[in-house]
Amino acid sequence: MPKEIERKFLLVNDSWREHVSQAVNLRDGLIAFEGGRKVRIRFYNERATLTVKGPRQGITRDEFEYEIPHSDGLAMLDAHCPSGVMEKTRYHVPYGGFEWIVDEYRGILDGIILAEVELPSEDIDFPKPPWAGQEVTGQPEYRQINMLRKRQEALAQAS
């Protein structure tokens, strides 16, 4: 079964930008979120996918992702993602033999930047890059869905 094992960090500076191997524009839409299970549409540049994620168990969660026709992805993003579209640029930044990703949000979460490293197992050691700061793995306030809700509340209060 496919698993996602990730640890998440804040950034202390911008020096990671010199080491980017690849950048991808992501557009995400949430179809459903129930009992910790999440179903989303994601565009990787123009490639559309449908993803099911299981509930988190520690830092691990099941993940099933399938490529779908571009037009289906657009139709679902448009009609079946009521919380709107989340946009970010995902930078791939190799460090010490591990693949780090740095997500720079746009749109409603503009200004937020977070780094993650994807791990082959939960207990593996990995070197921490100089640009990675405090670890925030599992902290609810750094989950995308909570960041989004917080911004939406702030916008609603300001308006």
Q: Which residues bind a second copy (CB under 8 A)?
A: 1-2, 31-35, 37-39, 50, 52, 54, 62, 64, 66, 68, 71-72, 75-76, 79-80, 82
Total length of the chain: 159
Shortest distance, position 154 Cβ to a second copy, whole Å: 23
Which CB, 71 or 159, lies closer to a second copy? 71
Shortest distance, position 62 Cβ to a second copy, whole Å: 7
Which CB, 52 or 108, lies closer to a second copy? 52
Cα–Cα distance between 40 and 73 in angstroms, integer? 10
Cα–Cα distance between 52 and 59 in angstroms, integer? 16
Cα–Cα distance between 135 and 116 in angstroms, integer? 9
Shortest distance, position 64 Cβ to a second copy, whole Å: 5
Which CB, 2 or 96, lies closer to a second copy? 2
Which CB, 39 or 136, lies closer to a second copy? 39
Shortest distance, position 131 Cβ to a second copy, whole Å: 36
Shortest distance, position 121 Cβ to a second copy, whole Å: 19
Which CB, 8 or 40, lies closer to a second copy? 40
Cα–Cα distance between 37 and 61 in angstroms, integer? 10
* Residue pair 29/79 in contact by the 8 Å Cβ criterion: no
**CB count in 10 Å sphere of residue 102:** 25
Q: Which helix (H) or strand (E) holds 158?
A: helix 144-158
